[in-house]
Amino acid sequence: MQTTSSTIEKKVSLVRIINDFKEITKMRLSVSVVFSSIIGYLLGAENIQISVLILLAIGGYLAVGASNTFNQIIEKDVDAQMKRTKNRPLPAGRMTVNTALVIGIICTILGIYILYTINPRTALFGAISIFIYVSVYTPLKAITPLTVWVGAIPGAIPFMLGWVAATNEFSIEPGTLFLIQFFWQFPHFWAIGWLAHDEYKKVGYNMLPMGKKDERAVIQIILYTICMIVFSVMPAFGVTGRLHLSTVSGVLVFLLGLMMLFYAVKLYREKTDKVARQLMFSSLIYITLIQIIFVVDKFLH
């Protein structure tokens, strides 16, 4: 009986350790970031190498996981005060800061090394992403709403990173991918900022562009959404090098952008949490579907 009980306890603790690792590295977010990198690779690669795809996925996950781990170390006291974050491993006391630090350091070293084995530029952009997210974006959250602008830089790197991993070059194509995801983040994160405004305000964070849930904030959302649409359809006009879209795909991408713009304008008119949530979900649908459209279009034409 004791052996059985001991085995069960070990299994339970192992499951808990795995779950806490997934939480400290923000697995769902990290996987979505890796998905963007893989899409970027598929767009840039002339000959797809499965080994490079695997290295990109593992290295990318570790790099993003490192950023998220250091972010949670820095914000552990703030996370303890917010309903949606208080059950994370650090504020809940399931993991020590030292353990999290070890995880963050190992993920950083391994992640950058694995990306380096693809090519040096990929590793460089991965390292820049970690540095900006941890050393600039995270501390600025308590100081200025401009933090979202800073955070959009590492957030936009993964889409571009995949192309760089495939070509070892930075040019107009990965630059365009960067700009699409860069401008997409503003309506996405400001919609989240709108929904979590009261909780953020309670801990001294101001994530909305004008600091308030008002029409000026939504005007910014609308403007950045329009910029996102413009850069997303540019490949259909043959001005972005090897990155191009057929007319049909360009129209589909444009219509998806109009869907987001519809909810942004609706938020301007109604200014409700319900519409902000609709905008947030529409942004997730948008970024996923346009990436799939870009890849399908490449392999069909």
DSSP per position, 214-262: SHHHHHHHHHHHHHHHHHHHGGGGT-STT----HHHHHHHHHHHHHHHH
Quote the Cα angle for 227-232-237, to 5°.
110
Given this model, what pLDDT does residue 16 score? Answer: 81
Given this model, what pLDDT does residue 94 score? Answer: 87
Given this model, what pLDDT does residue 10 score? Answer: 58
**Contacts by 17-21 with C-beta closer than 8 Å and gap 24+?**
20/89, 20/94, 20/95, 21/103
DSSP per position, 55-86: HHHHHHHHHHHHHHHHHHHHTHHHHTTSTTTT
Same domain membership, residue 228 and residue 157: no
Same domain membership, residue 164 and residue 244: no
Q: Decide if 153 contacts 132 (C-beta within 8 A).
A: yes
In 3D space, the residue among 145, 161, 294 whose CA is nearest the CA of residue 220 turns out to be: 145
Answering whether pTM is above 0.95, one says no
Same domain membership, residue 297 and residue 190: yes
pLDDT tens over the chain, length 301 residues: 445 555 655 565 778 888 888 889 998 888 999 999 999 999 999 899 999 999 999 999 999 999 999 999 998 888 888 888 888 888 888 889 999 999 999 999 999 999 999 999 999 999 999 999 999 988 888 787 778 888 899 999 999 999 999 999 889 999 999 999 999 999 999 999 888 887 877 777 777 776 677 788 899 999 999 999 999 999 999 899 999 999 999 999 999 999 999 999 999 999 999 999 999 999 999 999 999 999 999 988 7
Q: Report how far residue 7's alpha carbon sits from residue 13's, in angstroms, rounded to the nearest whole number.
A: 10
Same domain membership, residue 191 and residue 294: yes
Same domain membership, residue 140 and residue 208: no
Q: Report how far residue 191's alpha carbon sits from residue 277's, in angstroms, rounded to the nearest whole number.
A: 7
Tokens encoding 44: 């840039």
In 3D space, the residue among 149, 142, 146 whose CA is nearest the CA of residue 75 turns out to be: 142
Domain that holds residue 262: 172-301
Same domain membership, residue 263 and residue 161: no
Q: Decide if 37 contacts 291 (C-beta within 8 A).
A: no
Given this model, what pLDDT does residue 11 score? Answer: 60
Same domain membership, residue 153 and residue 229: no
Same domain membership, residue 136 and residue 73: yes
Given this model, what pLDDT does residue 141 score? Answer: 81
Domain count for the chain, please give it: 2
In 3D space, the residue among 41, 30, 32, 40 whose CA is nearest the CA of residue 64 turns out to be: 30
Given this model, what pLDDT does residue 112 score? Answer: 96
Tokens encoding 206: 């101001």
Same domain membership, residue 185 and residue 97: no
* Listed residues 153, 170, 187: the one ending a domain: 170
* Listed residues 152, 170, 188: the one ending a domain: 170
Same domain membership, residue 121 and residue 17: yes
Same domain membership, residue 208 and residue 162: no
* Listed residues 124, 147, 170: the one ending a domain: 170
Instruction: Report the CATH number that the domain containing residue 63 is assigned in CATH.
Output: 1.10.357.140
Same domain membership, residue 85 and residue 12: yes
